[in-house]
């Protein structure tokens, strides 16, 4: 029998226990032995829970038990998750995690520590919830030079944007609904302001380059400024609005960014709705491959953690190679990145907008007579910032995906 421990009995941690209970026979058939959750570490007790007798409060109970071969870290945050993960790896116990905050900030170090100790630090659930994306990058796509990864990487914000478009419901109501469904982070600012998607694209960028894409270097903008009216404008120009995260390599180096973008209704990412996420990987031989599934939620995420556990149990004493060194990649200066912009403006007239921005394509909505919108030509972020200051009545801008 393979025995594991779960650190943090919240949404994902309790999902792990449920996945192992419900699919226990099937999992046992696949690994050749029964998988049992021997311990659950949490701050609280869970009286009445069928697994209440497994709950412990002292990490040493787990680390000193030679029967435990794998630890699932689903507490989240930096500390004590970082300390516990390091100690588990040093005790030669593999760690499987959904904690993208920790993976993005210490992934290279923890992988290295796992290698030194002949075990694994696996993090399939840290990006895209239940979507298999880490394993494809580490196995199926290893013959490729991956030159771009772009995706919808946050379930909470995709849920909010989808419902804002279809129901025109207020932002606060939609966030509350996402929280009730177990999608949002403990501090939902991480979802709303794009920090969560930023950490996830940093992880994917690090796997793409084999070096560290530092999340602190990534230009990040969230969706707190997006309103139902923006969707009316987006629709008028044949687009929709999605929070996209991207990392790409071109002739001048690497670019990484997270921002809400207007993207054509024809773009496959435009049709990804609700809590679903999707990731498009562009390789130099295969071209585009796309990965789709539930980006957040208890069972989808837990299933991805359990798949990592099964991998560890099936290959005891083996370290799965994952190339991610501590060397930091220099990212392109975001002010030089070029795009077209959609601009909403009050009071100023078309002529003034044209004088400031040059050739523009105006968009008017009958329901918003006090303002108008327009699409600019392609320009750099720095050029746009200069022009924006000269436009009276500027309300907001949203970048348009090329």
**Residues marked as catalytic:** 200
Give CB contacts under 8 A, 24+ apart, made by 267-270: 267/401, 269/150, 269/151, 269/152, 269/242, 269/244, 270/239, 270/240, 270/242
Nearer to ligand HSE, 113 or 259 (CB): 259
> Are 38 and 4 in contact, with CB atoms under 8 Å apart?
yes
Chosen from ligand NDP, ligand HSE, none, partner binding at 376 (C-beta under 5 to 8 Å by type)? none
Instruction: Please state, in angstroms and rounded to a whole number, the distance separating the CA atoms of residues 6 and 35.
Output: 13
Nearer to ligand NDP, 165 or 294 (CB): 294
Strand partners, 256: 247
Could you say whether residue 269 binds ligand HSE (CB under 6 A)?
A: no
Residue 191 CB, nearest approach to ligand HSE (Å): 5
* Interaction residues for ligand HSE, span 185-244 (CB under 6 A): 185, 191, 196
**The one segment of 43-51, 83-91, 182-190, 379-387 that binds ligand HSE by CB under 6 A:** 182-190
Nearer to ligand HSE, 113 or 153 (CB): 153
- The residue assigned the tokens 């177990």 is 182
What are the residues binding ligand NDP (CB under 6 A)? 8-13, 41-44, 74-76, 80, 98-101, 125, 129, 182-183, 185-186, 296-297, 301
> Are 243 and 257 in contact, with CB atoms under 8 Å apart?
no
Residue 128 CB, nearest approach to ligand NDP (Å): 9
> Are 280 and 149 in contact, with CB atoms under 8 Å apart?
yes
Chosen from ligand NDP, ligand HSE, none, partner binding at 162 (C-beta under 5 to 8 Å by type)? none
Instruction: Please state, in angstroms and rounded to a whole number, the distance separating the CA atoms of residues 264 and 59.
Output: 50
- The residue assigned the tokens 């950490």 is 199
Residue 13 dihedral angles phi and psi, to the nearest 5°: -60, -45
Nearer to ligand HSE, 291 or 384 (CB): 291
Candidates 59, 295, 331, 376; binder of ligand HSE (CB under 6 A) is: 295
Instruction: Please state, in angstroms and rounded to a whole number, the distance separating the CA atoms of residues 243 and 308.
Output: 28
Question: At CA 49, angle to CA 48 and CA 50, rounded to 5?
Answer: 110
Question: Which secondary structure element, helix H or strand E, spans residue 396, and what is its range?
Answer: strand 394-400
Helix, strand, or coil (residue 287): strand
Omega into 80 within 30° of 0, i.e. cis?
A: yes
> Are 346 and 364 in contact, with CB atoms under 8 Å apart?
no
Residues touching ligand HSE: how many (CB under 6 A)? 11
Nearer to ligand HSE, 206 or 348 (CB): 206
Cα–Cα nearest to 270, from 136, 134, 156, 165: 165
* Interaction residues for ligand HSE, span 144-173 (CB under 6 A): 154-156
Nearer to ligand HSE, 156 or 303 (CB): 156
Chosen from ligand HSE, ligand NDP, none, partner binding at 8 (C-beta under 5 to 8 Å by type)? ligand NDP
Chosen from ligand HSE, ligand NDP, none, partner binding at 154 (C-beta under 5 to 8 Å by type)? ligand HSE
Residue 163 CB, nearest approach to ligand NDP (Å): 17
Chosen from ligand NDP, ligand HSE, none, partner binding at 372 (C-beta under 5 to 8 Å by type)? none
Could you say whether residue 8 binds ligand HSE (CB under 6 A)?
A: no
Nearer to ligand NDP, 158 or 301 (CB): 301
What count of Cα atoms within 13 Å lies in the side-chain half-sphere of residue 49?
15
Q: Could you count the other beta carbons within 10 Å of the beta carbon of residue 283?
A: 18
Residue 186 CB, nearest approach to ligand HSE (Å): 9
Chosen from ligand NDP, ligand HSE, none, partner binding at 76 (C-beta under 5 to 8 Å by type)? ligand NDP
Q: Which residues are at the interface with ligand HSE (CB under 6 A)?
A: 129, 154-156, 183-185, 191, 196, 295-296
């Amino acid at each position: 029998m393979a025995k594991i421990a779960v650190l943090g009995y919240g949404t994902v941690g309790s999902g792990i226990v449920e996945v192992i209970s419900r699919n226990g026979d099937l999992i046992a058939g696949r690994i050749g032995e029964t998988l049992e959750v021997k311990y659950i570490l949490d701050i609280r007790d869970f009286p009445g829970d069928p697994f209440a007798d497994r709950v412990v409060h002292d990490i040493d109970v787990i680390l000193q038990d030679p029967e435990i071969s794998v630890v699932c870290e689903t507490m989240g945050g930096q500390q004590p998750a970082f300390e516990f993960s390091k100690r588990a790896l040093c005790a030669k116990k593999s760690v499987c995690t959904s904690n993208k905050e920790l993976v993005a900030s210490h992934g290279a170090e923890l992988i290295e520590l796992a290698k030194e100790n002949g075990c694994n630090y696996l993090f399939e659930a840290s990006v895209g919830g239940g979507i298999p994306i880490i394993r494809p990058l580490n196995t199926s796509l290893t013959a490729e030079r991956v030159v771009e990864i772009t995706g919808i990487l946050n379930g909470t914000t995709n849920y909010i944007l989808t419902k804002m478009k279809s129901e025109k419901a207020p932002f606060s109501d939609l966030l509350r609904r996402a929280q009730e469904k177990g999608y949002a982070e403990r501090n939902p600012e991480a979802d709303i302001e794009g920090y969560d998607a930023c950490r996830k694209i940093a992880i994917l960028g690090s796997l793409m380059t084999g070096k560290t894409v530092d999340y602190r270097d990534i230009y990040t903008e969230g969706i707190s400024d997006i309103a139902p009216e923006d969707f009316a404008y987006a629709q008028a120009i044949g687009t929709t609005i999605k929070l996209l995260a991207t990392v790409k390599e071109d002739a001048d180096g690497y670019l990484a960014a997270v921002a809400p973008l207007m993207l054509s209704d024809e773009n496959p990412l435009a049709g990804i709705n609700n809590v679903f996420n999707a990731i498009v990987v562009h390789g130099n031989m295969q071209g585009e491959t796309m990965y789709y599934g539930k980006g957040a939620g208890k069972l989808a995420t837990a299933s991805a953690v359990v798949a990592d556990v099964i991998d560890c149990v099936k290959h005891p004493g083996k370290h799965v190679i994952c190339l991610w060194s501590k060397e930091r990649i220099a990212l392109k200066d975001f002010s030089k990145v070029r795009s077209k912009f959609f601009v909403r403006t009050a009071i100023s007239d078309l002529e003034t907008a044209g004088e400031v921005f040059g050739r523009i394509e105006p968009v008017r909505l009958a329901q918003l007579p006090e303002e108008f919108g327009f699409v600019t030509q392609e320009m750099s972020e720095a050029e746009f910032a200069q022009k924006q200051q000269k436009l009276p009545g500027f309300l907001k801008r949203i970048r348009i995906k090329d």
